[in-house]
Structures are given as structure tokens and as C-alpha cells.
Structure 1
Amino acid sequence: MQRVKRRLARKRGGERVAEKKQHMDARLREAETALQAAREWAQVTLNSIGDAVITTDLASQVTYLNRVAEALTGWSSEDASGKPLDQVLMLIDGQTLEPAANPARRAMEENRTVGLAINCVLVRKDGSQLLIEDSAAPIHDHAGLLQGAVIVFHDACHSPAHSSRLAYQAQHDALTELPNRALFNERLTRAIGLAKRHQHQAALLFMDLDAFKAINDSLGHAIGDCLLQSVAGRLTHCVRSTDTICRQGGDEFVVLLSEIDKPQDAVRIAEKILATLAEAHAINQHELHVTASIGVSIYPDHGSDEFTLLNNADTAMYHAKKSGRNKYQLFNADMNAVKIQNNNLESQLHLALEADALFLDFQPRIDLATGYMVSAEALVRWRNPTLGLMQPSAFLPVAEARGLMVPIGYWVLGEACRRMQAWRREGGDIVPIAVNMSAMQLRDTSLPARVAEILARTGLEAHFLELEISEEDLIQLHTDASISTLRELSRMGIRIAIDDFGNGRASLNQLQHFPIDTVNLAPCFASGMCYNPQSNVFTKALIGFLKDLSLCVNAKGVETLAQRNYLALQGCNGAQGFWLSRPLSATHFRLLLDPEQANTRLCSLSPRRS
């Protein structure tokens, strides 16, 4: 009986276990169904939203893409699964085009939500590009353990923020964030309208930085850009919030003073800007000094429309720069007459170059120890069809301002070499000729090749050519590229000279960086040394110092016998000036080179004998 009871109990127990298992299986199927439904619902939800969604695991490998992500990346979720995120979501910086940081990796490393970089561009599977924006966040399980990352992004081209950013960029300079020309012109038009309606004045300050190019060339564009940003920042502190500052381009800025009571208000702002900019700019461990030239025009005195006001402010700025830089000039009507004249001169100079209408004079130089001519300086001349023979000081500044110094410089170089070789073929006993070179020419890295081509074409040896650089240009040329160019010219056998030394701001220390053979002392040394004891001592010491550096020393501007004798006494090598000889035409200079005219003298000059 007991055995039967135990069998019945086991049977009932088995039935309960089976029933419990069936119940558990049913619950599991329900859970799986619910989970599948949840997954499907989540997928439907993710596919229904307007943003792209990509998830990754801890190794930054893709685990999922929703439909928007598939459309934006060009990858299907199936193809992308298991691939590195950088391959599926390839991001670059829209400005530099360099690869952008992986947002998922950063979100996991920092365990927080992070935004995508500004100007982030998605490179799609087909290579096309798309600007995107939004964020990435870490994914945690129910226990709070990190499981991966999710990136949510969308096409930024149509977002309000992007539209606003595009509108801002369209109206502002990318480097300084100042208003650009388009926005400035709009505000200038508005300011003129308000000034006309309310019977008040407005002013324009057209500003150009002095010698900015020298800083930009010597220290690099990155430093130059930082300096422009520093200038822009200082300008904003010099004006009211109702005024407008515009970067016109390069190192040019324009300031609109929308309302002033009198012209002196604009002058006061110009003086404030000059003083503010003159203070040292600390840029990347460099202490930079920069000045500005400012032209000022007033509405309605100097123009009633935008073009006239800008043009007149620009004209006044040119006069400020010409008058010595770090200055301002208020526009006046006479300036326009000068500008018109300069425009005419520019047109005529173009024609003169095309017609080969320029010509050269030659001023001899003597050896102070022997009295014989040892070299000469080539001086460009121009007989203007309407104004007659013009001094170089009358047309070369216009040529420099209008970008004609380079073609004129190469013409002088070619003509001097051609003349010398022609004289030698005629039997002349030629001497080296010095030719002035502008800073613009010396910035041309092709200069050595062009000089070599001229020498080869004319057949002249390099040692008969000397290139002169003014001291002021030498300061601007203190760059690796310019020094390399001069060294290459020196290796060719061409002599290099500093001209008018003592007029500028070059330091004696700079001489060691350049391959200099000769120093031409400025005329102020010759004119002052016979009458000023202090100048006398300084000139003597300077000549001795330069000779200790194994440099040949020539004095320019020698106009008296006393000056000539004193220079010889101090050991100066050579001299040039009106007392010795005025500049001679090519015909008269040729006479000094004739070996059969050995007894010919011109202001005590003797031709150099072989």
C-alpha cells in the first residue's frame, strides 16, 4: 500500500514539474516575443526619427545604423556591422581638410556626451561630402557598465544654426571676424542716408599697415595673421559700438564713424589708432612693432556717395604714407590733382617700357688712393613726352606704388649689361657697373636665374656687375629667402652692396647676415664731417669698423675737395659725387673708357687702366 502511495506522489510531482516547465517556456516565449517587439519598436522608432543614429561597441566597431544613417553615409547597416567607425563615419575638418577626431571614442574616454567639431564634414561611401552636426554619447548597461557609444547627427546644411552661421560668414572676414566689404558697404550706405536726413557728418578712415609685408615675409604668414588679429582687436577698442571696422583685404582696414560733429572728431580717432597700434604686439614670443598710415575723408565735405568717400580716403592714405608713414592725412582737393597726375605718369611709364623709351646715365666712382675711376653707378632716366626730362625722384615713387619697379629694374639691369658688352666690343676698357635693386625684385626667388639669363644673353662676366640694395630695403629683406637669394647671386661672382648706409634703421649686427662686399655711405656723412667734430669722430670710427669687416667703403655725395681729402685720410676706399663728376650720358661716359684717351680728365678723374 505504501508503495502505491509513493508511485502516485511521484506521478503527481512529475506532472507539477512538467506543468511548471510548460509555464516557464510560455513565459520565456512571451518575453522573447516582447523583446522582439521592443526591438522592432525601437528599430521602427529609430528609423522614424529625422536624425541619423550609429551605435558602436567598446572597440569603436559599428553595431547598428538606422535608415537615416544609411542614407547619409551610403552604408547599409548590414555592410557596416563590425567595421571600424572611422571607415563608416569618415569625418574631416571642413576648413583644413584634415581628419577629425572620432566622436565615439572621445565620448567613451570622457564618459560624457560630446559635440561634433564645428565644420565637421562627413565623407560618404561614394566620396561625396556632407556637412553634419550634433553629438555622441556613451552607452551603459543596467549595471552602469560602459558598453559602447551612440552617435546622433544630421545634415547641417538646412539647420537654422547652419543658416545663421552661413549668413554670418557671408558678411564677415574669416580671419579677424570684422565686417567684410559687403556688410561695410551696406552700413556705409545707411550711414550716409542717416547723415543726410539728420544733417550731421560721417567719416571714413582708410588705413594701411606700414611695412607689414616685411613682418609677414620674415616671420611667416601664421605670425602675420596673428598680428592682423591683434590689430583688429585694438581697433575695436578705439571706436564706438555704433561705428564699423572693416578689413578690406591684406593689411588694409577701413573705419566708418557713422556720426561725428566735426572733422576734428575723426582726427582724434585717427590719432588714437596710431598711438594704440604703435604699442608692441606680443605674438608667439615675438615683440612686434607696426605702424599705420591713415587717410580721412568726411561726409559731405569730401564726397556725397560711397565710392567718392572711399576713393578720397584712399588718396589721403597714400599721401600719409608718402609723407613718412605712421601719420594721418585729412583729404583735400589738391590730392586728387596729384592722383590724376600719378595715374597719367603710370600710363606713360607703361608706354615708355613698351617703347624702350627709358635711358641710362652713368656716374663715375674713383679710387681715393689713386684718383682713377674704378666703377660707376647706372642711373635710370626718362624723358616724358609732355613734361620733358624727369628726375628719378619724380617718377620712381609712382613706379613703386603702382608695381612697376620690377619691370623697370630688370630693364635697367639688362640695359647696363648690354651697354658694357657693346663698349667692350668697341675696344673700351670697361669698369664694373652698379645697378640699384628694389626690395620687390629681391623678393623674387627667380632673380638669380633671371640675372644669369641676362649675363648669358649679353655675354658679360658676372664680376662686372654690382647690385645695390638700399639700407631701408635691407631691413625689409631680413628673411631666409632673401638672404638665400643674395648668397646665390654672390656665388655667381656678382658683388653685393648696401646703398645709402646711415639713412635708415639697419643695425651693424645685420651686416653679418648678408653676403655684403661694399658699403656706400649716405651723403650725410660727407656733408657733415668737415664741420661737425662729433660727426667727424663717428665717421672715422664707422669707416674703420667697416674696413675691419673686410668691406669696401665708398662715400656718396662728395661735393668739395676738403671732403674728398678727408675721406682719403680716413682710409675710405672710394668716392662718388658732383665734385668728382655729375652723372654722364652714355656717350660721354664712353669717352672715359677709351684706352687711347688716357689723359682725359673729368673733375680730376682718370680712366681705369688695365
Structure 2
Amino acid sequence: MDLNPQIPWISDPDGSICEISPRWTLLTGMTIEEGLDAGWTRAVHPEDLPRVLEQWNIALHSADQPVADVRYRLRRADGHYCWVRARSYPRRDAEGRIVKWYGNLEDIDDQVAAETALRDSEERYRLASRATNDLIWDWSHITDRIEWADSVESIYGHVEAAAGVDMEWWRAHIHPEDLASVDATWAAVHGRRRDSWSHEFRFRAADGSYVHLLSRGYVLRDEHGRARRSIGALQDVTQARRAEAELRRAAYHDVLTDLPNRAHFAARLEQALAAARADDTRVGVVVFDVDNFKAINDSLGHGAGDTVLRAVAQRLSAGLPPDAFAARLGGDEFAIILPGLDESASALIRRLLEAVGRPMTIDESVVEVGVSAGAAVWPADGNDAEAILKSADLALYTAKARSAGDVESFHPELRDAVETRNSMLRDARDALGEERIFPFYQPKISLASGEIVGFEALLRWQHRERGLQPPGTIHAAFEDSALSTQLTDRMLERVLRDLADWQEQGYETGRIAINGSPVDFRRDDFAERILSRLHALGLPARLLELEVTESVFLGRTAETVERALRTLAGEGVTIALDDFGTGYASLTHLQQFPVDVLKIDRSFVSRLGSTNSADFAIVHGVIDIAQRMDIQTVAEGVENETQLDRLCELGCDVAQGFLFGGALGAGRIGAFVRGWPQARQGYCWQGASNRPRSFGQG
């Protein structure tokens, strides 16, 4: 999502926006709610809004091919405007009616800046051409002397030439590299092969610099056909040629960093591979980007981000070996070509990245500039330029996923990993589209009374060939914003529908716990999505428990998370902190957020065999803290009587695991509830006298 930053959105058939990616808030500073319906128009530049609405209206009412594609300025969170491109396409039902519009918003500010630079260069070319006065000349082939038609003070700074010059003087001032072509033109004139001509050459001015001159002439001949006189004009096209050079440079260089751009990089990589084929050598390609670049932009502003990118480019250029080539591919992504790769390349790459990643000071703030990189080698990691660049990209993706500031070399298994991830995403989409996502339920038992106090809803999905699958087989989908939200919504709908059925049938199931991920909170409407479904089914909120991990408390969405949790808790939904003690555990989270339940991870519970173990001490400490803060504790993964005994000794409130039962389909919950009073007689519980408070009693 840090190399191609787009903002997907969906609208109703009438054009009212109904969904926007969370990146909308990061770009504009507006909440998702503020951007819905027609609220997004408030961020459009006033000068652009009429045109944007006109284009959108045309697309909405077009019968043939309704497609919207418009560029405009959008107000960013820092108050400045950036250029974006909005494109949308309709989705139709079986009768051909438009049911939704799907679109995306693309940041094209760098592109527009480049286009503006090109237009400026073209404008300079036009002005230079218009302002140039032709210099009329008259060349006598009899005297071999050039005279000027108008009174001039100097010829390109040569005052002595104003009264006329001989041809030898003129030839002496033509650039040596152009002299042969000029002589050839004149030879053709004398040889009766040409009567008119137009050629360009460089002429040395009085200050020693060369000007580009376009000479056009026509020859007059005597009765024998010999050239006796030529008349023509000189035009100074220096500014035009400079403008053309600037255009060529702008087409192949990045405006911000002055490094070669992606197009230039692609052309140079093709050249390097062609040379390597001829020399039977290797070529290295390294792709890297700036770690946490978005955070720099968000915290210090886009100006600081631009400063970082320019500094990275300068450091990169300074550390390159003479035959290497560096470019900015776009955003915060850079690339290096290393021809003639040898064994020293690895050390060279690390030195370069260390130099690039040194901290820098911006507006008296010290900015840590870390970089992650992926490397690939031709021909081992790809047959052509496209393949080798893709291999380096895969290596970079792996490096960033593993840890920031890392360097990863490509190996074939990375392709397999990407294909596996893509396969997971396809499976998840298909399962959602074909209604093959189901909740299974694992019972949660009070250790004081042995009663059922609830169930945890666990996602399962049906594979067409492999049958019922756990969520781990599509774990990549939970890292995808759109799919993760859809999976949560699907689980929520099915769980609440099952809960409503059980209530109607008179089953006492206790609270049903569902899991929420960090992605679910990004839209800032998670609480409303849950409560609206509860209200629609007439279910009391106290029957639902939301499990989250502490990762949701971290980052810039912490305020959004706190608002959602407090909204849910205020309505009666229980909030459980899952996997406590395994990751970012912090007691401040227990004070800041409305946490009702701590879930002790199965990794600690599985090693409770000895009272002298470190895991026993950790579990004991967690339970003690929870009791002092009036928070319920739930132990996960209880599989044997020894673990149950230890948890009862420590005063744990609730347990779940295969000792009591695995995850059950919704249709088997009724039988489990009816049979549990008999089954619980086979276990030893704490005894009600051991626990004075009633929170965990069901």
C-alpha cells in the first residue's frame, strides 16, 4: 500500500458516496463520515468543483458507456491542495441496471508537476522563437565574403564582424564537430546539386560559448550555372534547443529529486542487460524505500517528506560507484542498477543503505530515516528487465514484512509466498461471494460453578475440495482492508442470527464473543455496525463480547478505537483483551480503555505443569492484577486436568479449550447446552466459596 497509494470508493447508483477507504482520512483530514454522500465535495478546490460535478453528472446519465475520469485539486489534511485523478466504473445487475459505482482516487501531484514543468519549457521555447530576429546575410561567391543586409553592431558579440567577414573567418568559428556537414552543404551548392538549403550548426560567439544557428539560403547562378551569390537568413535557435533538452530531461528525470525516473530506469536497465549478455556478466538490481515515510509526512508535513526524499537522493548519488545507476521509481521508492556484479556487491549495498539511512534534522527535529531493500541478480532471478525488477520488488516486500531496515535477496520461494498470498485472497473472496464463511463456537466454562458462561465464535470456511478450513488458511485476507472488514461483517451477521435463534429456542448460551482486528476500527464506524445489527434483531448488547488484541491500541487510530470501545461498553457489550502478555502488553491500556476481560494466551496455559515454571508465575501475576482491577480472566487452550487444577488454584474465572469441547457448528450448540449439566459433573471446580465476587459466575 507505501509503493501505489490509491483511495478506493463506492457510490450508490445516484452518485452518493457510501464507502471510502480509510486513506481518505489520512489524505484529507476529513473523517469517513464527512466524506460520505456529497460530503467529499467540500475538499475539492472551489475552482474545480463545477467541472468535477459536471463530469460526474454526465457519467451518471450516460446510457452507453458511463465512465467518469476527471482530474482536480483536493485539499490535503495540511490545508494545501494536491492534484488527484478520480476514475469510476459502474457495476450492473442482470438487467443491465447500475447497482453501484466503483472508483478510486489517485494522487497525481508529482505527475502534474512534471507536466507543468514540460509546459513551462514549451512556453519558453515559443517565446524564444518569437523573440528571435533573423539575421539576413549575402554571400558573394566571387569575393568569398559575407555581408549583412541590415546595420548591425556585432555578430553574436563579434564587433569586428559587423562590417562583413570572409568565409575563412566564418568557418573558423563553426564548431569543429559541425564543420564537416557545413562544408558538405556548401560543396553541394557549388557542385550544382542544390539550389536551396537549410542546415543547423553551432557557432562560437565572442564570449567563447556556442550558439545554435539555423541557416537557410538560396543560391543565384550565372548563365553557365556557376554560383555567384547566395542570400539567406540566420536564426538563433539556441533557446529552442535548450528547451528541447529540458523537455527530454523532464521526460526522463524526477522533478523533486532530479534523479532519473522510472522510464529512464527501465531504458537503462534494458541497456545494462544487453551489455551483460554480450559480456557474459551479471547485473544487480536493488529496490528500496523509506521506512515509515507516511508517518514522516503525517507528523511533519509533506514539505518535510520532500526534504527527506531529496536528501535520500543526494546521499544515494554520492555513494554510487561510477558504473552504477540510481533512479526514483515513484513515491518513496528508489532503485539501483549495478552492472558487472561481483562478490563485493552485498557489502556495497549495505554501505549505501547505511549512508542513505542516517538521521537528519528538519526544522530542528531529528528524523530517523531507515530504509528497507530487496535485491535481485540477472540472469539468475529473471530473464528480462520486467522479471528482474519484479523479483527485486518481491524481495523488498519480504524485507519490510520481516522487519524495517532489513535487506532481502530474492530467492524462488518468494514467488511461491506471493502466489500463496494471492491464492488466500482469491479463496477468501470466493468464500465470501458464495456464502461459505461460517462461525463455529467453543464453550467458555466458569471455573467456580462449572456452568457455561458463553462461547467464542471462531471463523471457519468451506473449501470446495478440502472441506472445512480454519482461518489460518486465509490469514492474508485479514491483512487486506476490504476483505478483513467483509469477513468481520459476515461473521457478525451470522453470529447474531445464531444468537437470536438460540434465544428464541430458550437456550442459555451466555455471552458470545467475536473477534475484532485493527482493520475493523479504521473506518470509525465499527461500533455503529455492531449496535445497528443488535438493535435490528432485538438482541440485548450484554449478550455480545468483543475480543481485541492490544495491537488495536497502537498507532494513529488509538482515539478511534477508544471511542468505539467506549460506545460499545456504554451499550453493554463486554470488551475482552485477547492474547494478553504475548505482545504489546501494557498496564496503561487496562486503565485507558474499558477492558472487562483478560484472556490468558494458550502458550502460557500449555506450560502450567509445574508451579515453579516461569509460565506459572506469569499466569499467576496476570490473574492477580486482574482481580485487583476487578477484571475477569479467561484461560485459553485448556486441554488437560492438570492445567484445569492449576487455573483453579490460581483463581482464574473462566476457561475454554478441548478439555471441555472443541469448536462446534451452530446446529450442535443446543445439544451441547442440554448435555452440559451432566458432563460438568466429571470435572473438579473451584467451589463458590473460593471466589467472593460474582463476575465470573455466569
- Shorter-chain TM band: 0.5 to 0.7
Deviations 1:107-159 (A, max 9, x none): xxxxxxxxxxxx9xxxxxxxxxxx99xxxxxxxxxxxxxxxxxxxxxxxxx99
The equivalent of 2:565 in structure 1 is: 486
Question: Matches of 1:600 and 1:530 in 2, distance apart?
Answer: 24
Whether 1:381 aligns to 2:460 is: yes
Whether 1:547 aligns to 2:627 is: yes
Specify whether residues 325 and 504 from structure 1 end up closer, same or farther in structure 2 by C-alpha distance, changes over 3 A only.
farther
| Aligned with residue 203 of structure 1, among 270, 284, 289 | 284
Equivalent residue letter for 1:347: R
1:212-231 equivalences under 5 Å are: 215=295, 220=298, 222=300, 226=304, 230=308
The equivalent of 2:451 in structure 1 is: 372
Consecutive unaligned residues in structure 2, runs of 5 or more: 1-78, 83-112, 114-122, 125-238, 686-695
Specify whether residues 441 and 297 from structure 1 end up closer, same or farther in structure 2 by C-alpha distance, changes over 3 A only.
same
Instruction: Say whether the 8 Å CA contact 1:270–1:294 is kept in structure 2.
Output: no
Specify whether residues 366 and 265 from structure 1 end up closer, same or farther in structure 2 by C-alpha distance, changes over 3 A only.
farther
- The structural deviation recorded for 1:412 is 1.1
- The structural deviation recorded for 1:488 is 2.4
Equivalent residue letter for 2:658: F
Equivalent residue letter for 1:400: E
Instruction: Say whether the 8 Å CA contact 1:231–1:277 is kept in structure 2.
Output: no
The equivalent of 1:244 in structure 2 is: 326
The equivalent of 1:474 in structure 2 is: 553
Question: Matches of 2:362 and 2:500 in 1, distance apart?
Answer: 51
Deviations 1:344-379 (A, max 9, x none): 332232121111111121112222222222122111
Question: Matches of 1:329 and 1:602 in 2, distance apart?
Answer: 56
Whether 1:410 aligns to 2:492 is: no
Equivalent residue letter for 2:654: G
Instruction: Say whether the 8 Å CA contact 2:357–2:369 is kept in structure 1.
Output: yes
The equivalent of 1:295 in structure 2 is: 374
- The structural deviation recorded for 1:463 is 1.8
Whether 1:502 aligns to 2:581 is: yes
Whether 1:582 aligns to 2:667 is: no
Equivalent residue letter for 1:583: A
- The structural deviation recorded for 1:166 is 8.1
The equivalent of 1:358 in structure 2 is: 437
Deviations 1:541-590 (A, max 9, x none): 23222332332222222233222222222232222223332222222233
- The structural deviation recorded for 1:472 is 3.2
Whether 1:453 aligns to 2:560 is: no
What TM-score comes out, normalization by structure 2 length?
0.56
- The structural deviation recorded for 1:461 is 2.0
Equivalent residue letter for 2:619: T
Whether 1:433 aligns to 2:433 is: no
Question: Matches of 1:296 and 1:348 in 2, distance apart?
Answer: 30
Consecutive unaligned residues in structure 1, runs of 5 or more: 1-94, 99-118, 120-130, 133-157
- The structural deviation recorded for 1:210 is 6.5
Question: Matches of 1:323 and 1:345 in 2, distance apart?
Answer: 19
Specify whether residues 515 and 535 from structure 1 end up closer, same or farther in structure 2 by C-alpha distance, changes over 3 A only.
same
The equivalent of 2:672 in structure 1 is: 592
Specify whether residues 538 and 316 from structure 1 end up closer, same or farther in structure 2 by C-alpha distance, changes over 3 A only.
same
Deviations 1:133-192 (A, max 9, x none): xxxxxxxxxxxxxxxxxxxxxxxxx99999998877766667777654344434433443
Equivalent residue letter for 2:320: R
Q: SS of 2:554's equivalent? A: helix
The equivalent of 1:39 in structure 2 is: none
Equivalent residue letter for 2:328: C
Q: SS of 1:404's equivalent? A: helix
Instruction: Say whether the 8 Å CA contact 2:291–2:405 is kept in structure 1.
Output: yes
- Alignment RMSD (CA, Å): 4.0
Instruction: Say whether the 8 Å CA contact 2:453–2:511 is kept in structure 1.
Output: yes
Specify whether residues 461 and 287 from structure 1 end up closer, same or farther in structure 2 by C-alpha distance, changes over 3 A only.
farther
Question: Matches of 2:348 and 2:465 in 1, distance apart?
Answer: 42
Deviations 1:185-215 (A, max 9, x none): 34433443443344432333344666777x5
How many aligned residue pairs are there?
A: 452
Equivalent residue letter for 1:543: I
The equivalent of 1:347 in structure 2 is: 426
Question: Matches of 2:310 and 2:603 in 1, distance apart?
Answer: 39
Equivalent residue letter for 1:201: R
Equivalent residue letter for 1:460: L
Instruction: Say whether the 8 Å CA contact 1:175–1:229 is kept in structure 2.
Output: no
Instruction: Say whether the 8 Å CA contact 1:346–1:399 is kept in structure 2.
Output: no
The equivalent of 2:594 in structure 1 is: 515
- The structural deviation recorded for 1:504 is 1.3
- The structural deviation recorded for 1:411 is 0.9
Question: Matches of 1:402 and 1:478 in 2, distance apart?
Answer: 14
Who wins on radius of gyration, i.e. which is larger? 1
Q: SS of 2:652's equivalent? A: coil
Instruction: Say whether the 8 Å CA contact 1:580–1:602 is kept in structure 2.
Output: no
Question: Matches of 2:503 and 2:585 in 1, distance apart?
Answer: 38
Question: Matches of 2:551 and 2:521 in 1, distance apart?
Answer: 13
Equivalent residue letter for 1:561: E
Q: SS of 1:421's equivalent? A: helix
Equivalent residue letter for 1:578: F
Instruction: Say whether the 8 Å CA contact 2:253–2:260 is kept in structure 1.
Output: yes
The equivalent of 2:15 in structure 1 is: none
| Aligned with residue 337 of structure 2, among 248, 251, 257 | 257
Instruction: Say whether the 8 Å CA contact 2:604–2:619 is kept in structure 1.
Output: yes
Specify whether residues 376 and 301 from structure 1 end up closer, same or farther in structure 2 by C-alpha distance, changes over 3 A only.
same
Deviations 1:206-247 (A, max 9, x none): 44666777x57xx94545874685477457646516432535
Q: SS of 1:528's equivalent? A: coil
| Aligned with residue 642 of structure 2, among 562, 576, 597 | 562
| Aligned with residue 653 of structure 2, among 554, 561, 573 | 573
Instruction: Say whether the 8 Å CA contact 1:202–1:299 is kept in structure 2.
Output: yes
Instruction: Say whether the 8 Å CA contact 1:235–1:273 is kept in structure 2.
Output: no
Deviations 1:268-304 (A, max 9, x none): 4565577678887777787777866543221221113
Q: SS of 2:591's equivalent? A: helix
Deviations 1:495-547 (A, max 9, x none): 22221122213432233332222221222222334445344333322322233
Equivalent residue letter for 1:404: L
The equivalent of 2:500 in structure 1 is: 421
Deviations 1:414-473 (A, max 9, x none): 111111111211222132111111211111112222222222333322222222222334
Equivalent residue letter for 2:655: A
What TM-score comes out, normalization by structure 1 length?
0.63
The equivalent of 1:181 in structure 2 is: 262
Question: Matches of 2:619 and 2:362 in 1, distance apart?
Answer: 38
Whether 1:444 aligns to 2:520 is: no
Deviations 1:311-358 (A, max 9, x none): 222333344455566544322233323433433332232121111111
